[in-house]
Chains A and B, each alone.
Chain A
Amino acid sequence: MKLRKVQDYFSLAGRALAFIFARPFYMQDLIQQMDEIGVKSLGIVLLTGFFTGMVLALQSSVSLARFGATMYIGSLVSASMIRELGPVLAGLMVAGRVGSGIAAQLGSMRVTEQIDALNTLGTDPIKKLVTPRVLAALIMLPVLTVINDFVGILGGNVISTVMVGIPSGLYWRTVWDQIGTDGFALRVIPTDFIQGITKPFVFGGIIAITGCYFGLNTTGGTEGVGQSTTRTVVMSSILILVVDYFLSQILLSVFAP
């Protein structure tokens, strides 16, 4: 029973991804979803990123002061943001905002027979509804993450300058040094960036597919829609944190210095 569901989940993912390259392309749906998933999530990502950077700087300044190393705040903040907190926080925020929205929308389409109507009118609901959402999430989550990283480091900059007294120039120099120290892939791409971009790409897929899976499999009327949204947020948050660990391990071993 459980195994069957896992199988369904992956078969949904597989079909949604395969349809990315098949006609007809629902361009308008894609653009609308990119707006919904990306542009409209910008606010919460900016806010959470900024405060996370600030608190990182604040906490690390205390620990670093013990070793007389407060000038390295920049490298600590940027390493944590780019490798871990940026992707994971953006993922969790978008899972809460967008994943639940996807599940609610597809769930109510399911219980009001609109999914059956799509099928009847000769449209594959996976192609029309799931693929644009998955593709939009795959594109937009890395973008959101880069923005999240940037405002996080900026937040760290504010705290380290105002409260710790590190000049901005020094802060940014340590940030750049940190990004460079782990080496470059293909000579130009910092390996930190590869980690920081691979993760949100995977998280985007997890969020969209989980939302679509629970939405499309909604049963039991409007009450069922509520359950689907809750399940989506819980399941995608868990998946993000678990997958994050294993991805880190893999990426670290691949790009071991």
Chain B
Amino acid sequence: MTDEKNRRGEGRRISERNADHVRAAIRDELAKDESIDAAHAPDAGTPVDAAPVIELQNVFLAFDTPILEDVSFVANKGETICIVGESGTGKSTTLKLILRLLIPEKGRVCIAGKDITPLSFVEALGVRQKMGMVFQGAALFDSMSVFENVAYPLREHTDLDEGEIEQRVREKLQFVDLDPDRVMEQLPSELSGGMRKRVGIARGMANNPEIMLYDEPTSGLDPLTTGTITRLIMKLQHELNVTSMVVSHDIRSVFRMATRVAVLHDRRIEFFGTPEEMAASDDTYLRDFLGGN
């Protein structure tokens, strides 16, 4: 226990020394990205004016031990909220709460102003159709080709004919920078990790959902592919005004795409605010977290 504290203390001291560097680096990063992403920059006014689309109110959840305690935050229309935090703090779990794959013990989860916790299983299936999810490991159906994977939500929920489905699948694959003719007939096991993630994004957005959830869309990828996927998420938000929630460990891309950042720590939301506020914050844990990156 005391060992633990000592190590923490040490980490804190080191990071305090580094804190100024870190903040300077982040400011640089923001300045650099502003020029690149000027076209994609979220309207400063949007988060405040727009209606809340995703809302967690005082959510409690436990498996064997408590995972989330009194977690609340709001994502307004067109916002990109990034969730960061250490491994195992419940980031994936939070996304599953929004999808109603899990039900909170206490508190409410509202989608477009409607509480989804008391819904029946069938009603929940309906709510999920408004959402697209990109899973941590892509979760492509490994018995189906790439084409069938992306076409799956279309076959389930639309009455598009075969030609329209193919057209839509091609369009979505192109959107994620994949060559439809090359990948469509391949099986997920034949793709690289980055390609699988991009197919996962294409499948998530096939149905043109209003809400996109991404679980570590860039983890384990090289910096270039990470950049591509970050730009993709921003493109989706910008062009289609999709409300997004992104779990990410990659602070650089978080600062690029987030309108607001939620930091999960110790079962609670340690911080919820804009990236600028986060960079300027004096909170020791936040500085630790940024400094350690």
Residues of A within 8 A of B (CB): 112-114, 116-124
* Cα distance A11–B224 in the bound complex, in angstroms: 48
* Cα distance A39–B156 in the bound complex, in angstroms: 29
Interface string of B113-137 (1 = CB under 8 A from A): 0000000011001101101010111
What residue of chain B has the Cβ atom nearest to residue A114's Cβ?
A: B139
A-facing residues in B140-159 (Cβ within 8 Å): 140-142, 152-153, 156-157
* Cα distance A212–B153 in the bound complex, in angstroms: 23
* Cα distance A117–B133 in the bound complex, in angstroms: 8
Q: Shortest 10 CB-CB distances between A and B: which pairs?
A: A113-B139, A117-B139, A120-B133, A113-B135, A122-B129, A121-B153, A122-B125, A114-B139, A122-B128, A116-B101
A121-B121 in contact given A114-B139, A116-B139 (Cβ < 8 Å): no
Residues of B within 8 A of A (CB): 96, 99, 101, 121-122, 125-126, 128-129, 131, 133, 135-137, 139-142, 152-153, 156-157, 203
* Cα distance A137–B65 in the bound complex, in angstroms: 39
Query: Using Cβ atoms and an 8 Å threshold, which residues of chain A touch B96?
Result: 116
Query: Using Cβ atoms and an 8 Å threshold, which residues of chain A touch B141?
Result: 114, 117-118
* Cα distance A22–B178 in the bound complex, in angstroms: 38
User: B139 to A122, Cβ gap below 8 A?
Assistant: no
- Rounded to whole Å, the gap between the CB of A126 and the closest CB of chain B is 9
Count A-B pairs with CB separation below 8 Å. 48
What residue of chain B has the Cβ atom nearest to residue A113's Cβ?
A: B139
User: B101 to A121, Cβ gap below 8 A?
Assistant: no
* Cα distance A123–B203 in the bound complex, in angstroms: 14
- Rounded to whole Å, the gap between the CB of A26 and the closest CB of chain B is 11
User: A119 to B101, Cβ gap below 8 A?
Assistant: yes
- Rounded to whole Å, the gap between the CB of B245 and the closest CB of chain A is 13
Provide 19 A-B residue pairs closer than 8 Å at the C-beta atoms, listed in order of the A residue.
A112-B137, A113-B135, A113-B136, A114-B140, A114-B141, A114-B142, A116-B96, A116-B101, A116-B135, A117-B133, A117-B139, A117-B140, A118-B141, A119-B125, A121-B153, A122-B126, A122-B128, A124-B121, A124-B122
What residue of chain B has the Cβ atom nearest to residue A32's Cβ?
A: B143
Query: Using Cβ atoms and an 8 Å threshold, which residues of chain A touch B125?
Result: 119, 122-124
User: A120 to B128, Cβ gap below 8 A?
Assistant: yes
User: B156 to A122, Cβ gap below 8 A?
Assistant: yes
- Rounded to whole Å, the gap between the CB of A220 and the closest CB of chain B is 13
What residue of chain A has the Cβ atom nearest to residue B99's Cβ?
A: A120
* Cα distance A118–B203 in the bound complex, in angstroms: 12
* Cα distance A122–B152 in the bound complex, in angstroms: 10
- Rounded to whole Å, the gap between the CB of A67 and the closest CB of chain B is 57
- Rounded to whole Å, the gap between the CB of A70 and the closest CB of chain B is 53
* Cα distance A124–B124 in the bound complex, in angstroms: 10
Query: Using Cβ atoms and an 8 Å threshold, which residues of chain A touch B131?
Result: 120
* Cα distance A116–B98 in the bound complex, in angstroms: 13
Query: Using Cβ atoms and an 8 Å threshold, which residues of chain B touch A122?
Result: 125-126, 128-129, 153, 156-157
Instruction: Specify which of A113, A118, A120 is in contact with B137 (CB 8 Å cutoff).
Output: A113
What residue of chain B has the Cβ atom nearest to residue A126's Cβ?
A: B121
User: B156 to A120, Cβ gap below 8 A?
Assistant: no
* Cα distance A117–B287 in the bound complex, in angstroms: 35
* Cα distance A113–B126 in the bound complex, in angstroms: 20
User: B128 to A112, Cβ gap below 8 A?
Assistant: no
* Cα distance A116–B96 in the bound complex, in angstroms: 9
* Cα distance A88–B203 in the bound complex, in angstroms: 44
Query: Using Cβ atoms and an 8 Å threshold, which residues of chain B touch A116?
Result: 96, 99, 101, 135, 139
* Cα distance A116–B204 in the bound complex, in angstroms: 13
Query: Using Cβ atoms and an 8 Å threshold, which residues of chain B touch A124?
Result: 121-122, 125
- Rounded to whole Å, the gap between the CB of A177 and the closest CB of chain B is 50
* Cα distance A207–B144 in the bound complex, in angstroms: 25
Most buried by B among A112, A114, A122, A123: A122
User: A117 to B128, Cβ gap below 8 A?
Assistant: no
